[in-house]
Structure formats: structure tokens, C-alpha cells
Amino acid sequence: MACMKTSSSIDALILGAVIAFSTAAQGEFLSYDSDFSTAPADATLHGNASLTDGVLQLTPAVINRVGSLVIGNFTNENTVTVFDVVLDAFTGNATNAALPADGWCFVWGDVPALSFGENGPANFSGLVVSFDYFVNSPEPGREVTVTWNGVQIGSVLYNSYTNSTVPVHIRLRQGGLLDVWHNGVRLFEGLSIPNFTGITSPKWGFGARTGGQTAKVTLDNLRIYPEPILVTNLSTSGEGSLPHSVEAAANVYPGPNQIQFKDSLDGQTIILTGTPLQINNQTLVVDASTLANGITVNANQSSRVLVSGASSANLFLNRVKLTGGKLTGSLPGAGLYWDASLEMLDSSITNCQTDHVGGAMILADSGTIKATRCTFSGNVGSGGGGMMWMQGSSKLTLHHCTASGNSSANNIGAAFAFLGGTTMLDHCTISSNNSSSSVGGIYMQSPANLNLKIRSSQATPPLRIPTLILAAAHSPAKEPILSEW
């Protein structure tokens, strides 16, 4: 079975570097946490690796060094199918700053107890994420690569040698989809691991190497979460509920975290009771992709459905349907009010309404939303932006999305109202959006920027009034960028 943790009020028992979480329903599950101020529990150092000045040093800035950390299995006999690994990595102090060597890696699987470098152990079966900043022929340049069972499945040209300490986040999502961030740069997004079914009783490792050139590599503040939080019921409070799971992800577990749903909840609806889901200073995945019909969260016409409680919030929704948000008076964004980072996949926002602007959502300030294969329909923003109201320096990217059946009571965009920020619509359909005035689809005024890939996107009616209006009265009005693909 895959390991899960429920969202009960769990006491964290710190055992060396291992945090044990206990639940009455599912026994004991483990995460791993070490700041390397003391020897990490259930782990071994190999080669030139050492604990130095409160960090794990894999290699000093000396030629011909190799060092590794191997963490033993801490998930009992469970099969791990998702995880989050976060840490701070320092690379620097190279004798020749133009030629640092060689790199470091993260490995996951049946990791052998020996030293290994940036490419992982020889003949290794499992996952290797390699941060390689020394260019060997025929490599095209400094790069980050992903290898699965000895076969490279992904590569990106990128210089991971920073001469500073930077955050690294490696996330495995349901279905064997891999995300990798280095210093805030997303290097891989949903990279598919072939024939992935999980690994039972895995070990975890990190290795680095120098050759004829040098670089120091240290790691610190390591956290590993090898299991999702499991929503087990449709309640709006208490153990196993979605709101409690979101709260636990913020306050019980340091995160980042992933939330999944019990199979019996397939196609079911969670009805909120006047309080929206709030995502605070946390990185969170809410993933219903194991459910054929997903999960629905319904605000029951009594509140927003979802809000960001901090600009540092980072949320990923997969196969989640948001519906039934309702606001009166001067409150915008009935579906969601967002000024943080949000990704949506195979999800929807429907039948939300406000007397103000942004029926489905308002994207404010420096917020970012990226949606793929999503639907936005039946939303009402009486003051404008039946689907979306966008302002500030926010950024919106829609791929293969549909906006239809949204409405506004004035002439400021029955579907979209772009008053700021940057928008990309690609392979999108905008149809049957209705306004009591002249703009049925897109309203745009300076300083908003709009990029339409017109061969891949379609609008009904075509992109002219009443589907698109540029607010010429707001000088200077910007023409949309029309890109043929």
C-alpha cells in the first residue's frame, strides 16, 4: 500500500533527525528533517562527506574528492508514490571560478551505502536528479538532468553553480510526475517517469564529486515528506476533512505537502459552511487525480470558495472543481481572490457570482495563475469581468482552457477584464459570454498586456466587438499581440 497520513491533530515527536507522526487510523508514518547541527539519524556518510560548521559538506573545494549521504528507509514497508524534498544547497569556492567541478545529485531508490558523485551510483536503478556544472564532451553545456533506471528522461541547460546558498525543491506528484526547482527557477514541470508505480521501502541519497577542478558543495535544512495527507470525509471540520487537512499542512507539518482523497470520495462534493478555504504561507498540492470524477468544493452561495492568505502561498490544484461562490456589496472575486501563485490542471471554476467584479476570480497585485485544460463557466461579475478581473502586475497563462457562459452587467468584459498585468491565451476557446452592454468577451485597458495565439485559440464571435474591446479612452491603449502558431 502507498503510505498516507491523515490530518488529525498530530503531535510531532522529534527523534534525532526523524519526525514521527502517529494517527489512530493509520499508525505511524515518518518524515525526515535535519539541519545537520548533529549527526543525521538513520543515515551514513561516505567518502569525503562530513559534518562541518553545522552543515553537511559533500565535497570540499579540493580536487579528486567524492562524498555522499545515504538515508535509510524510514517508510517501513510502504510503497512511496509521491514526495517532496526541500533543502538549501551551497556550491562555490572553486579555485577556478570559470571551471567549477563537477556537481551534485539527489538519488532515490535502493541507494547503496557507498560514495558517489553527480551522476549517482554506478548501475543504479531508481531516480537521479543531477546538477552538473562541469561540461564534458559531448554535453552541450552546464545542465540539470533526470535519469530513471539508468535512462536519461529529461535535461535542461542550466547553470546550478551559484557561489551562494539557494533553495532546492524536488517534488514527485501522483502518476509519476516530477517537478524540480533550483533557486526559484522551475527546471522540470510534470516530467513523466515511464512505467512508474512507486518504490517500496526506498532509501534517499545525495552525492557530489570534484575531479581535476574544484568546488565546495554543502547541504542544509533538509526535509523529506514521502506521503500525502489523506482527506477521508466530506466534513468541513475535524480529522480527515479538507479544511482541516489544509490547516494541518500549514501548521502541523512544515511542508511542502500534498493532499489526496480517499477513493470513496470520487465525484463527491464538499460543501463549505460560510468560510472559504484559505492557503497561507505554504506550498501545497491538492490532488484529486486518483479520482475518476475528481472532487467538488462548493461554497453553497455563502462565501468565496478559495483565498490566498499570504502572497507567498503556492498552490497546485489537480482535478478540483470550485463552485458556488457568492459575494454581495463591494467584495470582488466570488470564486477565488488570489495574489499568490496558483496552478490548475483539469479543474474548473463555475457558477460563482458577485455584485462587484471578478465572478470566478480576481487576480490581484503580483499574483500568478497558470491553468491547463480548465473550464470557467456560468460565472457572474455584475461590475465587470464575469470570469476574471485582473490588475496590478499579475500574470495569467491559460492553455487549452474554455471560458463560456460567463456574464457581466456592464461593458467591462463578460469573460475577461484586463486592467493590468500580462496574459497569454493559448489553445483557448472564448464563447457565449454575455454582457448587458457591448463587450461579450474580453475588455482590455492600459497597462494590460495580452498575447493571443490566434491560430490555436478561437472566440465566438471572432475577436472584435463584442468579443474584444480596447479601452481607447485609457491612454495609451495597447493592441494585443497576435501570434500565429
Edge-first strand listing for the sheet containing 422-426: 5-6, 229-231, 257-261, 283-287, 314-318, 341-345, 368-372, 395-399, 422-426, 449-453, 481-483
CA–CA distance, 250 with 232 (Å, rounded to integer): 18
With 0-12 / 13-18 / 19 or more C-beta atoms within 10 angstroms meaning exposed / middle / buried, residue 154 is middle
End residue of a domain, out of 202, 225, 248: 225
- Do residues 142 and 118 lie in contact, with contact meaning Cβ atoms separated by under 8 Å? no
Helix or strand run (H / E) with residue 57: strand 55-59
316 shares a domain with 184:
no
CATH number of residue 400's parent domain: 2.160.20.10
d(CA 163, CA 92) in angstroms, rounded, equals 4
- 167 with 88, same domain? yes
Boundary (domain end) residue, out of 206, 225, 244: 225
Number of domains in the chain: 2
pLDDT for the residue 383: 86
Report angle CA 366, 258, 341 to the nearest 5 degrees. 5
Find the angle CA(212)-CA(213)-CA(214) to the nearest 5 degrees.
130
Given this model, what pLDDT does residue 453 score?
60
Cell output for 419: 486592467
**Alpha carbon 171 to its chain's center:** 8
What pLDDT, in 10s, does the model give residues 422-439?
A: 888 888 888 888 877 655
* Residue 133 sits in the same domain as residue 241: no
Same domain membership, residue 332 and residue 446: yes
DSSP H/E element including 248? helix 242-251
Using CA atoms, how far residue 393 sits from 330, 420, 421, 477, in Å, is 22, 6, 4, 17
Q: Can you tell me the mean pLDDT for 182-193?
A: 97
Does one domain contain both 45 and 170?
Answer: yes
pTM of the complete model: 0.87
Please give the backbone phi and psi of residue 251, each rounded to the nearest 5 degrees, phi first: -115, -25
Average pLDDT over residues 297-309: 95
How would residue 15 be classed by pLDDT, with cut points 50, 70 and 90?
A: very low
Question: Among 185, 200, 225, where does a domain finish?
Answer: 225
Q: What is the average per-residue pLDDT within 393-413?
A: 85
> What's the confidence (pLDDT) of residue 422?
86
Q: Tell me, yes or no, whether 160 and 257 share the same domain.
A: no
Read off the pLDDT band of 452 (50, 70, 90): low
Average pLDDT, the chain: 86
Shared domain check, 255 and 154: no
- The boundaries of the domain holding residue 221 are 5-225
Question: Which secondary structure element, helix H or strand E, spans residue 445, and what is its range?
Answer: none
Same domain, 93 and 235: no
Reported as a single tens digit per residue, the pLDDT across 93-147 is: 999 999 999 999 999 999 999 999 999 999 999 999 999 999 988 888 999 999 9
- 178 with 101, same domain? yes
User: Do residues 251 and 221 both lie within one domain?
Assistant: no
Same domain as 175, residue 120:
yes
CB 17 within 8 A of CB 87: no
477 plus 348 within the same structural domain: yes
CATH number, residue 204? 2.60.120.200
